[in-house]
Amino acid sequence: MDIIQKLKSLEQESRMRGIPIIGSEKGRWLLSFVQKNKPQHILELGTANGYSGIILGSESGEVLTIERDAKIAAEAKENFTQFKINAEVIVGDGMIVISKLVKEKSFFFDLIFIDFAKKKYVTILNDCLTLVKNGGYIIADNITMAGCQDFKQAVLTHPLLQTELINIGDGLSCSEVTKDEHQQRS
């Protein structure tokens, strides 16, 4: 039984409670991405109850995840423990926490998964570019939603990003980061 099947009851419970999660269809895509790329250091913006974080950490990667709601973050911690995911949950505002991480310069990630306040995606893009390793990825959920249009345009035209749009539900963007000198000069 794969992780998506194991998450079926959490998915159903989340839907009944109105907890926004990526669900099994996007979850399968994300799982195949994680299995193929095996990211070891993962940053997630928007933990909710840990559904996507479980998928992100399912190949033994370390997940640092940020959630502003302390109650739901506590549920995520329990779910990470249950699924044996190596995750640290930070309770706080994603914008503030990311800003601190950039200033500390002690964290660099193979993968950043963005699934929090839609209108803030574009505001946080440069910080994400600072925190992601060369050759790493930035994946964003809900890319076709109204609040994400500026972000979608930014990742499709950014000179350091090679972006693919994944047309599942309200969409995902998957951007590979290329920080080499040639790319930066053009």
* 3 state SS for the chain: CCHHHHCHHHHHHHHHHCCCCCHHHHHHHHHHHHHHHCCCEEEEECCCCCHHHHHHCCCCCEEEEEECCHHHHHHHHHHHHHCCCCEEEEECCHHHHHHHHHHHCCCCEEEEEECCCHHHHHHHHHHHHHHEEEEEEEEEECCCCHHHHHHHHHHHHCCCEEEEEECCCCCEEEEEECCCHHHHHC
Q: What is the mean pLDDT of residues 111-139?
A: 95
- Give me the pLDDT at residue 184, please: 41
Q: What does pLDDT average to over the chain?
A: 93
Work out the percent of the chain whose per-residue pLDDT is above 90. 90
- Give me the pLDDT at residue 31, please: 97
**What whole-number distance in Å separates Cα of residue 158 and Cα of residue 184?**
11
Up-side HSE of residue 142: CA atoms within 13 Å toward CB?
A: 18
As a residue count, the chain comes to 186
With 70 as the cut, is the pLDDT of residue 183 above it? no
Q: What is the mean pLDDT of residues 150-154?
A: 96
With 50 as the cut, is the pLDDT of residue 182 above it? no
Q: What is the mean pLDDT of residues 102-106?
A: 85
- Asked if residues 75 and 54 have their Cβ atoms less than 8 Å apart, the reply is no
Cβ-proximal residues to 31 (8 Å cutoff; 6+ apart), any chain: 2, 3, 4, 55, 58
Q: Which two tokens stand for residue 173?
A: 């963007």
Q: Which residue has the higher pLDDT, 146 or 184?
A: 146
- Give me the pLDDT at residue 106, please: 73
pTM surpassing 0.85? yes
Burial of 42 (0-12, 13-18, 19+ CB in 10 A): buried
With 50 as the cut, is the pLDDT of residue 34 above it? yes
